[in-house]
Amino acid sequence: CKQLCEKLTLDRIDSLNENLLLRISRFLLLICSCIVLLKEFFQLIIQREKYFREIFIKLLELQTYICTILFSMDLNYCTQNTGLRCKWQWECGALGIASVWTLLLFVFMNSLKIGKYGLLFVSVFLTFLKFCLIYVFIWIGYIIAFYMLFIHKKPQFTYILYSIPKTLAMLTGEYDFDDLFFPDGKVLEGSEAAMILYSIFVFTMNIVIMNIMVIFWELFVFFYTKEI
């Protein structure tokens, strides 16, 4: 990160110059984030078990504050003068932006007295996590199995971490059958076992479990709206 920053700073064609306004903004953002993070810490000490009643929102707030602090920190003099962020800092900033706008959604709904929809969002999210915990073992099994079968054949499964988002995308209906088994119009060699596993995956995960989820959410929304 430091070497890249210095290289861009010394670039004669398009060099990075010091930005005083950006530097002040980062400093204020860092101070405000540290203050609210301390406030959350004192709330945890004072409220104790009451603090975890809105655990989803609290986790979002903590994630936002921590990501903001990491994004605003200057790791060396070059990043301090130019405002350039390291790769992992930029990723923390992206996560912080996503979480803070999610928090703004709840603030907006509560201010307009339509908080029940925010509560519905949280309830559905937490219930979906419980649902995922039931079937997480079969998901892990398919992820590892596809990784073992395609590790030397497809770049999407070169690493186990690559196979996780690819398999999750397949859960949503992105099958890519032709790309997986018929690249360039030719049959992928040694893919017989993968075809069998793929067929079982489509049947069990995309047909059976997705239908279970649809019925489950219909019943959940029905009973939730009935209680309201």
Same domain, 131 and 214: yes
> Residue 93's closest CA among 26, 18, 23, 142?
26
Name the more confident of 16 and 79: 79
Share of the chain above pLDDT 70, in %: 79
Q: Can you give the pLDDT at residue 31?
A: 92
This prediction's pTM: 0.60
Q: Confidence class of residue 112 from pLDDT cuts 50, 70 and 90?
A: low
Last residue of a domain, one of 71, 89, 113: 113
165-to-100, 147, 157 alpha-carbon distances in Å? 24, 12, 10
Same domain, 108 and 121: no
Handedness of CA 110, 115, 119, 120 (dihedral sign): negative
Rounded mean pLDDT, 206-225: 71
Task: Return the SS3 of 135.
Answer: helix
Last residue of a domain, one of 113, 138, 158: 113
Same domain, 100 and 121: no
Rounded mean pLDDT, 120-136: 76
pLDDT digits 0-9 by tens, 29-38 = 889 989 988 9
Residue 13 has pLDDT above 50, yes or no: no
Q: Can you give the pLDDT at residue 15?
A: 46
Same domain, 66 and 160: no
Same domain, 19 and 107: yes
Residue 122 has pLDDT above 60, yes or no: yes
**Would you state the structure tokens that stand for residue 83, as one six-digit string?**
């405002």
- Tell me the range of 62-71, 80-89, 173-182, 219-228 where mean pLDDT is highest: 62-71
- Answer for the pair 192, 227: CB distance below 8 angstroms, yes or no: no
| Mean pLDDT of the residues in the chain | 78
For the chain, how many residues are written? Answer: 228
- Answer for the pair 115, 123: CB distance below 8 angstroms, yes or no: no
Rounded mean pLDDT, 115-131: 71
Last residue of a domain, one of 113, 132, 148: 113
Same domain, 62 and 146: no
